[in-house]
Amino acid sequence: MRDPDEFAVAVSGAELRADFLSRQSSPTLVEQFQTHEWTIDYQEAEVRARILGFPPPGWAAVALISGAGESSWYGTTVTRGFLVCTPPGEAIDGWIGPGFRCFSVGVPPEVWERCRQASGSERARSDRIVAKLVPSRFGALERRLLKLREVLRSNSIHAYGKVGEVSESLMTEIWEMVREAKPLRTSSRNRTRLARRAEDWLRAHHDTCTGMNELVLAMRTSRRELEYAFRENFATSPRTLLEGIRLNAIQRELTGPGTGDHTQVTRVALDHGITHLGRFPSLYRNLFGELPSETLARSLSVSRRR
């Protein structure tokens, strides 16, 4: 995967949006296996990117973080050895950094409910979970998933049955963890909500926003609190995220189906809030590895070959 929009299918059945926040040093790799009762994905990325999306309706997703690179989910920064659960109805919400490696397993509503009953949980639903596994448990899960990947590559029917066993075992364990999970601190939850609201505002107004004071006034908070919320949830500042939103929006338009010989890079940049046109080409190249004019030429070349 080279472009941000290609991340849309990085999780089986989900629709993701990725905004690059740093240049990708090598293509992102995704390997997927799917049946109607489970999905399993193997993902490797060498890019810093904001990730947001939803699993298929009613599905739950669990990710085993196996890479040394940092990522963050639901306001918690994680590295190798963590488990992240996205229950039905919740968004896949976080960011990834270079060195990100992950195994993700998804199950439909009927399997999720069967696992809840098997765990003995009386709760009707699960909260999002971000937990550090003990090394022995993490190692056992990682070895089992790596072995399953090798067998799945052979397209063995036996392997598909084994994945079903592993996915149900993992989801049952998640329900057992739900009973012991401690609620997030109120301050952390509030900052997460503030960061998400502010991000939504920036996306809606990235073409007209002239400065951070506008965002501060719109959120009815202090500049300092906004900075804390962004650092805690996105590991970046509001200004840097706004720049990333603009550059990714420009890249999407330059590679989108509406491009043609009439498309002008300068006009696209201005339409998405870029005011310093002299700096724009270098900022764009630093993020995507090519000039915006080169992106447009590549997109037009692909369109003409179709």
pLDDT at 207 over 70: yes
**Judging by beta carbons within 10 Å of its beta carbon (0-12, 13-18, 19+), is residue 83 exposed, middle or buried?**
buried
For residue 116, give its domain range: 4-180
Structure letter (DSSP) for residue 275: -
User: Is residue 185 in a domain?
Assistant: no
Q: Are 142 and 176 found together in one domain?
A: yes
User: Is residue 132 in a domain?
Assistant: yes
Overall number of domains in the chain: 2
Residue 158: the pLDDT is: 73
User: Is residue 63 in a domain?
Assistant: yes
CATH code of 147's domain: 2.60.120.10
Q: Are 216 and 173 found together in one domain?
A: no
Q: Are 34 and 169 found together in one domain?
A: yes
Residue 283: the pLDDT is: 97
Residue 184: the pLDDT is: 55
Q: Judge whether 148 and 140 are in contact, CB under 8 Å.
A: no
Using 50, 70 and 90 to split pLDDT, how confident is the model at 3?
confident
Using 50, 70 and 90 to split pLDDT, how confident is the model at 83?
very high
Q: Are 48 and 126 found together in one domain?
A: yes
- Whole-angstrom CA distances from 200 to 51, 52, 61, 179, 218 are 13, 12, 24, 33, 11
pLDDT at 75 over 90: no
Instruction: Provide DSSP, 185-221.
Output: PHHHHHHHHHHHHHHHHHHHHTTT---HHHHHHHHTS
Structure letter (DSSP) for residue 57: T
Query: CB neighbours of 260 closer than 8 A, spacing ≥ 6?
Result: 300, 303
Q: Are 45 and 162 found together in one domain?
A: yes
Q: Span 137-156, mean pLDDT?
A: 87
Residue 259: the pLDDT is: 84
pLDDT at 234 over 70: yes
Average pLDDT of the chain, as a whole number: 90
Using 50, 70 and 90 to split pLDDT, how confident is the model at 215?
very high
Q: Are 86 and 148 found together in one domain?
A: yes
Residue 179: the pLDDT is: 64
pLDDT at 187 over 80: no
Q: Of the residues 124, 145, 180, which one is the last residue of a structural domain?
A: 180
Sheet holding 15-20, edge to edge: 15-20, 49-54, 92-96, 71-73, 76-78
pTM of the model: 0.88
Using 50, 70 and 90 to split pLDDT, how confident is the model at 164?
confident
Tell me the percentage of the chain whose pLDDT exceeds 90: 61
Residue 185: the pLDDT is: 62
CATH code of 266's domain: 1.10.10.60
pLDDT at 265 over 90: yes
